[in-house]
Amino acid sequence: MPVAKPSLESLVRKLQLHSSLTADQRDALLALPFVQRPLEARAQLFRGLDPAGHCCVLLDGYAARSKLLPDGRRQFVDVLMRGDLIGIERSLFRRGDTGVEMLTRGAAAMVAAADLEAVLAAHPGLARALWSETLFQGAIQREWTVNVGRRSGLSRMAHLLCELGVRHDQQGIAHREKFNLPLTQEQLADCTGLTPVHVNRMLRLLDDYGVVLRNHRQVTISDWTRLAKLAGFEDGYLKPEGFTAVSCQAC
């Protein structure tokens, strides 16, 4: 696996999807001290309710935010990929409410809360950009609620694939129609609120329809339009089009 020279470039890219950063702000962010930590699959990035003295940026690999039920069942509430900022609620504000664990091996940049705090104090515009990022996370979260709440099994799978496709595309990780999907069917089940068996059947059905091919862990969407239709996918919630540029009179 070719490891890029570790940097927070991917976080900058993500923030710039919705917030315009000045050169100063970008440089300050890139100058943040961090420790790169290699991570095995199943490694816990954050656990339970504990607060933490750091947050992290995922540099490589995939992770999931999850909640456990008393009976041991599990629901993923987000899939995290390169550039995603994880655990800011723990480092700046309070303890968290979800666990975060690696789905694959990868690496994360660990950023000390105090360092982040200092940069945000010096650059209020950055704080604004991160708040904006929090709001985008919220939009994704709401769509996940809709997905598991109101869509059929087939649509849920289709919708998840659409969302992950767009997010890969936005982060420059892969093309929307062809990307790596390193999740097991059990993990996909935890994303969609289905059982692993049913995930298998729905993937098979999408394949039979000729809409999505899945070899090993590579997804190839051969008919995006039809997939989006099956999913009821509207990409508006992922897109910042029409956003008001960050304007903070104190910045």
Partner DNA sequence: CGTAAAATTGACTGACTTCAAATTCGGTGG
Partner DNA sequence: CCACCGAATTTGAAGTCAGTCAATTTTACG
Which residue type is seen at 128? R
Binders of DNA among residues 200 to 229 (CB under 7 A) are 200-201, 203-204, 216-217
Comparing CB distances to DNA, the nearer of 16 and 184 is 184
- DSSP lists the bridge partners of residue 36 as 109
SS3 of 41-72 = CCCEEECCCCCCCEEEEEEECCEEEEEECCCC
Binding mask 42-71 for its own copies (x = CB under 8 A): -------x-x-------------x-x-xxx
| Shortest distance, position 248 Cβ to DNA, whole Å | 43
Considering CB distances under 5 to 8 angstroms, the limit depending on partner class, which of DNA, its own copies, none binds residue 200? DNA
Q: Report the length, in residues, of the chain.
A: 251
Q: 């309710």: which residue's tokens?
A: 49
Q: What is the Cα–Cα distance from 61 to 59, expressed in whole angstroms?
A: 7
Binding mask 97-126 for its own copies (x = CB under 8 A): xx------------------xx-xxx-x--
The dihedral through the CA atoms of 122, 94, 45, 15 has a sign that is: negative
> Smallest Cα–Cα separation from 55: which of 81, 23, 93, 25?
93
Q: What is the Cα–Cα distance from 95 to 1, expressed in whole angstroms?
A: 34
Comparing CB distances to its own copies, the nearer of 6 and 232 is 232
Q: Does 145 bind DNA (CB under 7 A)?
A: no
Q: Does 18 bind DNA (CB under 7 A)?
A: no
Q: Does 197 bind DNA (CB under 7 A)?
A: yes
Considering CB distances under 5 to 8 angstroms, the limit depending on partner class, which of its own copies, DNA, none binds residue 247? its own copies
Binding site for DNA (CB under 7 A): 152-154, 184-186, 193-198, 200-201, 203-204, 216-217
